[in-house]
Amino acid sequence: MPRGRYSLHDLHDHTPLGEEHFQCAPGPSGWRYVSQITDPAGEHAGSVDLALDELGRPLRMELHAASWQVRGAALDGVTWVRTDPTGEHATEGNVAAHAFTGASPAFLIATARLLRLAPGAPATRVRLVCFTEPVLAPRTLDQSWALLKSETHATDNGPLAVDEYQVTALDTGEQDSVHIAGDVVLSAPGIELEHLETPPSNFP
């Protein structure tokens, strides 16, 4: 069960946004990721709880940020309930999309798991619902994912397979590089793996 810590940065000026302390593991039904997020001062800023089925679809997702809460799952596309800080004005949403995304590295793992791309294969288009912080406002976006290469590196804990993805935002054409090993993001825009207690888990 990997446990560790990511540092989060602003995509444009690299201002530190805080840290995400996480643990994750494959299970009988798929994969689960839980984390606590802290701001640059070390204060609690939110949490992520994401469970995937064996095909990579979101069985359950729960996000917390700035007193806002979102709960969602794959149902007729993706469906969610967003609750305001007072709890009086909960709103429901449903979009014909494949999965969710957001600032957490968990969503990069989830999308890669859902697509199961082969190195060198044509890019695959995916529609996602993104919850933007700090108020977890939903936004539908389209991305293109391609697995550029998969390389194995020698480590103290044995060989480590690292996948390099190219992720393209189809509305802007902006391309980013994402490096993933098993169920851990090694690097991605705005995300750096700072500490890892145990090696990544390999999906079956």
4 vs 11, which has greater pLDDT? 4
Instruction: Give the per-residue pLDDT at 122.
Output: 94
Asked if the bond preceding 189 is cis, omega within 30° of 0, the reply is no
DSSP per position, 59-107: EEEEEEETTEEEEEEESSSEEEEEE-TTSS--EEEEES-SEEE-SSTHH
Averaged pLDDT score across all residues of the chain: 94
Segment 36-73, tens digit of pLDDT: 999 999 999 999 999 999 999 999 999 999 889 999 99
Residue 28, pLDDT above cutoff 80: no
Instruction: Give the per-residue pLDDT at 27.
Output: 79
Q: Which two tokens stand for residue 147?
A: 């697995």
b/e code 129-149 from CB counts within 10 Å (16+ = b) = bbbebeebebeeeebbbbbee
Instruction: Give the per-residue pLDDT at 153.
Output: 84
Instruction: Give the per-residue pLDDT at 140.
Output: 97
Segment 84-139, tens digit of pLDDT: 888 788 999 999 999 999 999 999 999 999 999 999 899 999 999 999 988 999 99
- φ, ψ of residue 63 to 5 degrees: the values are -120, 145
Size of the chain, expressed as the number of residues it contains: 204
The C-alpha atoms of residue 114 and residue 127 are separated, in whole angstroms, by 12
Across the range 181-199, mean pLDDT stands at: 95
Q: Are 140 and 127 in contact (CB under 8 A)?
A: yes
What do you get for the CA distance between the two ends of the chain, in Å? 15
Instruction: Give the per-residue pLDDT at 88.
Output: 82
Across the range 186-193, mean pLDDT stands at: 96
Q: Are 142 and 124 in contact (CB under 8 A)?
A: no
Instruction: Give the per-residue pLDDT at 114.
Output: 96
Instruction: Give the per-residue pLDDT at 148.
Output: 96
Instruction: Give the per-residue pLDDT at 102.
Output: 95
Please report, for the chain, the start and end positions of each structural domain, with discontinuous segments joined by +: 3-196
Q: Are 175 and 201 in contact (CB under 8 A)?
A: no
